[in-house]
């Protein structure tokens, strides 16, 4: 990649890494499903404005709109809600590490369920090592009483974040439906769809808060975090990601998965004073090693190949 692509990659990792501490800050005063809705609807509004600026038409046929709804469900509504719900029980740093399992679930779903990819030896090794890292992360939460949230970071909250990663995997498999659709249109469509899906859930949760939740109950820090989540961490991040995809290729863009947990941990330490335990650091290291194996490029270098078989040629 060019130096500009590397800059884009680092910026994207920082922006997406900041999603987790910003979410943690906002969750102090905004319910998780309400926050998920605010994030996607703000991002959708921004991207609709971008479409108008670039003169891109938004599809209105029933088939495409239905696909936007399903993609919005799998790629935004479910994972955003589960991650934010999970963050009510665990740290932002740990949530970001668990989210890094997305490529592992993606390979499993694409190869075993949809037969879209070949499950090569290095990928099997990467999956095994990656799940060993997940086991280390879950271990403290599975201690006696942790399932009830009595000690450590509860397992139920960690499992919610893993559920979000699994939803992202199904979204990646379904995303092939949008070949031929401009990526900016697809992003705007799925965010619009997820906004419609999350609206009733957000209204329901706001009504279940004792006394009812209202926007006046959130302070400046929470609303600043909402603004950052919707604009920078979602709309702006999509713009960066799609440019990186077009210029650097999907394989190079996927490197952001390795960087997000690191950036999220550093930003969470600065903003929230969070610190990972020794076992969590070990789990993160093992998980990232699994992702490196899954990617295959390091093995290809040692094997004398310039790029792994089946990777993006760009």
308 assigned to some structural domain: no
pLDDT digits 0-9 by tens, 65-117 = 999 999 999 999 999 999 999 999 999 999 999 999 999 999 999 888 888 77
The pLDDT of residue 247: 82
Number of domains in the chain: 1
311 assigned to some structural domain: no
* Mean pLDDT to the nearest integer, 200-225: 94
Average pLDDT, the chain: 88
pLDDT digits 0-9 by tens, 9-58 = 999 999 999 999 999 999 999 999 999 999 999 999 999 999 999 999 99
pLDDT digits 0-9 by tens, 277-305 = 888 899 999 999 988 888 887 666 666 54
307 assigned to some structural domain: no
Domain ranges, residue 33:
3-302
Pinpoint the alpha helices (H) of the chain.
Answer: 3-27, 32-54, 62-72, 78-87, 92-99, 102-108, 121-138, 155-174, 183-208, 220-227, 237-248, 250-253, 256-272, 278-295, 297-302
Model pTM above 0.85: yes
Read out DSSP for 222-239?
Answer: HHHHHHIIIIIIIIIHHH
The pLDDT of residue 144: 41
205 assigned to some structural domain: yes
The answer to whether the CB of 190 falls within 8 A of the CB of 64 is no
The number of beta carbons lying within 10 Å of the beta carbon of residue 3 is 7
Q: State the Cα torsion 248-252-253-258 to the nearest 10°.
A: -150
Q: State the Cα torsion 50-55-61-66 to the nearest 10°.
A: -20
42 assigned to some structural domain: yes
310 assigned to some structural domain: no
Res 148 pLDDT > 50: no
Burial (Cβ within 10 Å: 0-12, 13-18, ≥19) of residue 57? exposed
Polymer length in residues for the chain:
314
175 assigned to some structural domain: yes
The answer to whether the CB of 291 falls within 8 A of the CB of 100 is yes
309 assigned to some structural domain: no
The pLDDT of residue 142: 59
């Amino acid at each position: 990649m060019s130096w500009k692509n590397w800059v884009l990659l680092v910026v994207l990792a920082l922006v997406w890494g900041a999603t987790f501490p910003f979410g943690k800050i906002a969750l102090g005063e905004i319910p998780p499903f309400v926050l998920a809705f605010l994030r996607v609807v703000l991002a959708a509004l921004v991207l609709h404005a971008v479409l108008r600026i670039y003169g891109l038409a938004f599809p209105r046929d029933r088939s495409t709109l239905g696909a936007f709804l399903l993609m919005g469900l799998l790629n935004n509504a479910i994972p955003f809600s589960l991650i934010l719900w999970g963050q009510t029980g665990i740290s932002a740093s740990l949530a970001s590490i668990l989210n890094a399992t997305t490529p592992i679930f993606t390979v499993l779903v694409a190869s075993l369920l949809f037969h879209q990819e070949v499950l090569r030896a290095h990928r099997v090794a990467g999956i095994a090592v990656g799940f060993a890292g997940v086991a280390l992360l879950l271990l403290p939460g599975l201690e006696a009483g942790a399932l009830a949230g009595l000690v450590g970071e509860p397992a139920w909250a960690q499992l919610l974040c893993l559920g979000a990663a699994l939803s992202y995997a199904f979204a990646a498999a379904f995303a092939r439906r949008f070949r031929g659709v401009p990526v900016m249109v697809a992003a705007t469509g799925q965010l619009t769809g997820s906004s419609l899906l999350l609206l009733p859930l957000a209204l329901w949760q706001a009504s279940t808060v004792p006394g009812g939740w209202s926007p006046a109950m959130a302070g400046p820090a929470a609303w600043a975090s909402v603004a950052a989540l919707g604009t920078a961490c979602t709309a702006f991040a999509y713009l960066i990601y799609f440019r990186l995809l077009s210029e650097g290729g999907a394989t190079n863009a996927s490197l952001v998965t390795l960087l997000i947990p690191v950036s999220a941990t550093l930003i969470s330490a600065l903003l929230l004073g969070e610190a990972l335990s020794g076992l969590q650091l070990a789990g993160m290291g093992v998980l990232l090693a699994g992702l490196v194996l899954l990617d295959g490029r390091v093995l290809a270098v040692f094997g004398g190949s310039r790029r792994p078989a089946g990777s993006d040629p760009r």
